[in-house]
Amino acid sequence: MEAVRGKSVYGGVAIGRAWVYDKGDSTVKRQHINDTAKEIERFEAAKETAKEQLKNLYEKALKEVGEVNAQIFEVHQMMLDDMDYVESITHMIENQNVNAEYSVAVTSDNFSEMFAAMDDDYMRARAADIKDISNRLINVLQGKEDGGISGNEPVVIIADDLAPSETVQLDKSKVLAFVTRHGSTNSHTAILARTMNIPALIGVDYPEDIDGKNVIVDGYGGELHIEPDEILLDKFRQIKEEDAGKQKLLMELKGKEDVTKSGKRIKLYANIGGVSDVVSVLKNDGSGIGLFRSEFLYLGRDNYPTEEEQFQAYKSVAENMAGKKVIIRTLDIGADKKADYFGFDAEENPAMGYRAIRICLKQPDIFKTQLRAIYRASHYGNIAIMYPMIISLSEVKKIREIVNEVKAELDSQQIPYGEVEQGIMIETPAAVMISDILAKEVDFFSIGTNDLTQYTLAIDRQNPHLDDIYDSHHEAVLRMIKMTIENGHKENCWVGICGELGADTSLTEEFIKMGIDELSVTPSAILKVRDKIRKCE
């Protein structure tokens, strides 16, 4: 029995088998082959298997993250049939009498280096795709499992860290918990764990031989127990039973109002990253969507999503929410969310660089395409828009000009659209300090507490070395939230919170006393926050 400490990023208890996530980095050795025809057949068979895997991944991603984000798997299928790529591999097998794995690895290096050296941003982005499809081919040739979880048993995922693209391949129904060596409390793995409502630990220096061992993930105490004895197992089974009982009581809150004992009503909305998340919002009885992260329509692909693609995504969410409010955040890309086809220059400090509304105002064609799609979708539901990273009144006025241009275009084309509330995100100290002025120009504020904390405290929230001083409860942050609410209300501008603090029930009562109108949280936290709201005076 062994216990390893880490940092908890989401509470709860998981008991199960450890499964080490294999990123597919394979060691390839050169081998001499006599029967080259048979080796080429082996390569062709591996190629068809890889294409079948990608087809399955596309269908899975289609359900989980929508068509736009699933397209990368279609692109990879096509790349496997690229004649230059295939001929390079088969030619090497025939002329050098080498094994298929080696031929794929060498071709991968050659092609990716060639693409990386090109001037065109789109072609440079293909270097990573070549590496990806080549690693998949090599894994098939070596008889390794696809990136998904093997077997039918739910497991505890053990990894150095997980990128957003890697989690697409995981069958979420088979994930009991996440344990990673790296990452921060604001990493993708942490956010995913909170969305899935499962325990997660980061900063865990787990032993190399952990794969397949029985473990307990203690998301409350921040410990990973390896090969626990029966006494420890019984203790944590009891905790799990108590948690299940609490969850059952929370489910009884479905259909109840989000109102305090004194009659103060709070709008309790949900944060989503894609069309598929609507199912979770409805399952957990969310009153609306307070943050639709539209940038996920732009990630994991090779070019800009079209107006029609975006329209279909926004329309689908609006229709499924059946008249409930859907607040779409316009493109918030940059900083830690990159897309190669945007052609971003390297930045010393991307968190304070070319991102979010700054991109939209500098590249209005991208902005107008998104706005047209949102306005068209507003005809099918109750849609509002909010704009991220605002620091000045001039930005808000420029946004209004572009919005009016888009509406005039739609009018001239006789394309219908609905009434769309206009809001801004308060996530910079600058926006807080002029919130009295900004409130005169918009319908609502949504406070993004993650970035507001980062910029107020001058702490990079992605840096794990600073987790111990990243304090979202800092008095300066709370004062800024209070100031924003007061200034908004003076101008009849309603105010919500869509950052992580929205789900922090230790602050719910304080936010209500401040006068908050809306809280937007991960879907799995809705009932927990409703319970807290209903207990407040």
State how far the Cα of 284 lies from the Cα of 317, in Å rounded to an integer.
Answer: 16
Quote the CA–CA distance of 269 and 292 in Å, as a whole number: 11
What's CA 276's distance to the chain center, in Å?
A: 12
Buried b (16+ CB within 10 A) or exposed e, 212-242: ebebbbbbebbbbbbebeeebeeebeebeee
Task: Extract the tokens encoding 230.
Answer: 């029966």
Structure tokens at 370: 């998104």
| Separation between Cα atoms, residue 55 and residue 41, nearest integer Å | 21
> Which neighbouring-strand residues pair with 386?
329, 423
Catalytic residues: 188, 498
Q: How far apart are CA 440 and CA 358, in angstroms?
A: 22
Edge to edge, the sheet with strand 7-10 lists 2-5, 223-226, 214-218, 13-20, 155-159, 175-180, 200-202, 7-10
Long-range residue pairs from 81-89, CB within 8 A, at least 24 positions apart, any chain:
81/47, 81/51, 84/111, 85/111, 85/130, 86/47, 89/43
Query: Measured over all CA atoms, what is the biggest interatomic distance in the chain, rounded to whole angstroms?
Result: 83
Token representation of residue 472? 């979202």
Phi, psi for residue 257 in degrees, rounded to 5: -80, 155
Q: Which residue has the tokens 């605002």?
A: 390
> Residue 387 and residue 327: Cα distance in Å, rounded?
10
Enclosing H/E stretch for 409: helix 393-412
Question: Pick from 429, 424, 445: which is nearest to 487 by CA?
Answer: 445
469 burial level (CB within 10 Å; 0-12, 13-18, 19+)? exposed
